[in-house]
């Protein structure tokens, strides 16, 4: 009678890489169903110039990195301290959280972020207690395409698109499957 060996079956999105080795933290490589992934978190100005870039593993949520990206903005001036606070933030629905809106309000930054459907439904369900909807300017929101164009320009560089440069510290390189969209307008 032959012996049957119990072999563990790995499911999609398994936690262990095939060779059993893990990547160092500075490589910003995460695991997902499609394999190793990296995500670029980016803030750019109204002209599509990157102001702050942050690389994380692909399985990191967009809204958790928002404050690190916005605090990384340093725009030099002719004299004095660098500019660190934009007038307006243009972001997609991934950034529609109460914490982000509160943070922006405390810094005096106008938020142009559409509200998610589940948030709208929950607010309507609660009636008058649910509060009023957050302010949203659809005309200003049209300028969010500048961020997508910035990502498209960045991905033209082969080392970034194919992820040849592993450590993200010196080059801030990496690939992305679904870039977070968060843009900033220039200050006067």
**112-133 per-position pLDDT tens digit:** 999 999 988 988 898 888 888 8
Q: Could you tell me the residue ranges of all domains in the chain?
A: 25-184
Instruction: Looking at the chain, list the stretches that DSSP marks H as alpha helix, in order from N- to C-terminal side.
Output: 66-71, 98-107, 117-126, 138-141, 145-154, 158-162, 168-171
**pLDDT, tens digit, 9 for 90 and up, residues 16-36:** 555 555 666 656 666 666 677
**pLDDT, tens digit, 9 for 90 and up, residues 42-72:** 899 989 999 998 888 878 888 899 999 999 9
Question: What's residue 11's pLDDT?
Answer: 47
**Rounded Cα gap, residues 94 and 148, in angstroms:** 15
Average pLDDT over every residue of 91-99? 91
């Amino acid at each position: 009678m032959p012996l049957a060996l119990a072999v563990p079956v790995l499911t999609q999105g398994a936690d262990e890489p095939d060779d059993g080795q893990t990547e160092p933290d500075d490589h910003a490589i995460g695991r997902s169903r499609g394999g190793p992934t990296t995500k670029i978190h980016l803030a750019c100005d109204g002209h599509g110039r990157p102001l702050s870039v942050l690389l994380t593993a692909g399985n990191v949520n967009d809204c958790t990195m928002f404050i690190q990206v916005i605090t990384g903005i340093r725009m030099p001036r002719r004299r004095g301290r660098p500019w660190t606070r934009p007038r307006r933030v243009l972001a997609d629905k991934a950034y529609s959280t109460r914490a982000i809106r509160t943070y922006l309000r405390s810094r005096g930054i106008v938020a142009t972020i559409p509200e998610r459907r589940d948030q709208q439904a929950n607010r309507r369900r609660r009636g008058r207690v649910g509060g009023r909807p957050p302010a949203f300017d659809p005309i200003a929101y049209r300028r969010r395409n500048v961020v997508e164009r910035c990502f498209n320009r960045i991905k033209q560089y082969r080392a970034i698109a194919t992820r040849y440069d592993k450590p993200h510290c010196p080059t801030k390189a990496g690939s992305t499957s679904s870039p977070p969209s968060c843009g900033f307008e220039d200050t006067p």
